[in-house]
Amino acid sequence: MQKELLPLGSVVYLEGPTSKLMIVGRGPIFESNGQNVYSDYVGVMYPEGINPEDAIFFNHEDIAKTVFEGFKDEEEQRFLEVYSDWESTLEISKIKL
């Protein structure tokens, strides 16, 4: 089954009181509580932009509303296929937020 992910540049609201976030990365691996984990997305506050100290990691199921969907083409489709394969071989956990 192919993974459902929003493209880069998409702007979303997460569940709960949040500001808009722009998706700037997908499938980041990072350390949380001393363990390597991954999430579906990494986002930055919109319209402020990139500040590495304020990157927000979240999963597709944490999105409450999509405000804008980023650019998609045939490379996006291929990326989603590769991402699904990559995710199925991971030996680390997906973070639960």
Q: Where are the domains of the chain?
A: 11-94
Residue-level pLDDT at 20 = 96
Query: What is the pairing mode between strands 35-38 and 29-32?
Result: antiparallel
The pLDDT of 13-22, averaged and rounded, is: 91
pLDDT digits (tens, 9 = 90+) for 37-82: 999 999 999 998 888 788 899 999 999 999 999 999 999 999 999 9
**What Cα–Cα distance (Å) separates residue 44 from each residue in 5, 8, 20, 30, 34?**
17, 11, 8, 16, 23
52 sits in the region (left: phi over 0; alpha: psi -120 to 50; else beta) called alpha
Percentage of residues in the chain having pLDDT higher than 70: 97
Residue-level pLDDT at 4 = 86
Query: What is the pairing mode between strands 11-14 and 21-26?
Result: antiparallel
Rounded Cα distance, 88 and 54, in Å: 29
Q: Which tops the pLDDT comparison, 2 or 58?
A: 58
